[in-house]
Amino acid sequence: MAQTATRHAKLWFAGQAENWALAAYEIDELHEGMEDAGKYHPTHKQIKQAIPELIAQYVDQPLTALEQAINAKNKAEFIANYDKLTAGCNACHQATEFGFNVVQRPSFNPFANQAF
Ligand code: HEC
């Protein structure tokens, strides 16, 4: 999840810079990371629902929409779907009793050693 959070942040800065090749890479990694989480950790602690089910319910749709926006190099669609993805992240945190874990658009860029 910490890596998911890093990808989520980098994705934002790539989209803001309209660096679509980097955005495509980051969303791919984000999507893969989610799938791996579901594959290798199908259950987790007190969570009752299976992780792959939760991923399908909360983030599959916004991830696909975001991929389409990136392919279309459409910044407005990118931002709208980025916010939907973030809402999906938070909805899953709520559903898994990790609702105190709130993610948002990053407010500043901590990746000083990477050009976006
Ligand atoms: C399948 C449901 C689910 C989805 C979807 C999900 N998360 Fe999480 N997230 C969790 C759970 C469960 C934890 C707590 C994991 C633990 O026990 O360590 C967590 C923890 C986190 C943490 C805290 C990590 C830490 O150690 O401080 C961050 C940050 C986070 N998620 C970001 C995200 C982001 C960003 C997204 C969307 C791109 C996302 N999550 C999508 C379930 C989800």
For 40-55, give one letter per residue: b (16+ CB within 10 A) or e. eeeeeeeeeeebbebb
pLDDT for residue 115:
97
Say which amino acid occupies 61. Q
Residues 90, 78: Cα–Cα separation, whole Å? 18
Q: What angle do CA 39, 26, 81 make, to 5 degrees?
A: 90
pTM of the model: 0.96
Q: Is the CB of 84 under 6 A from ligand 1?
A: no
Q: What angle do CA 86, 87, 90 make, to 5 degrees?
A: 90
pLDDT for residue 41:
87
Position of tokens 């389409």? 68
Position of tokens 């660096």? 19
For 13-25, give one letter per residue: b (16+ CB within 10 A) or e. bbbbeeebebbbb
What are 72-88's pLDDT values in tens digits?
A: 999 999 999 999 999 99
Residues 107, 41: Cα–Cα separation, whole Å? 30
CA 50 to mean position of chain CA atoms:
19
What's the full length of the chain, in residues? 116
CA of 22 to the centre of ligand 1 (A): 22
CA of 96 to the centre of ligand 1 (A): 9
Domains of the chain, residue spans: 2-95
Q: Is the CB of 55 under 6 A from ligand 1?
A: yes
| Mean pLDDT value of segment 37-42 | 88
Q: Considering the domain 2-95 in this protein, what is its CATH number?
A: 1.20.120
Q: Whose CA is nearest to atom 15 of ligand 1?
A: 1
From the alpha carbon of 9, which atom of ligand 1 is closest?
Answer: 35
Share of the chain above pLDDT 90, in %: 87
CA of 1 to the centre of ligand 1 (A): 5
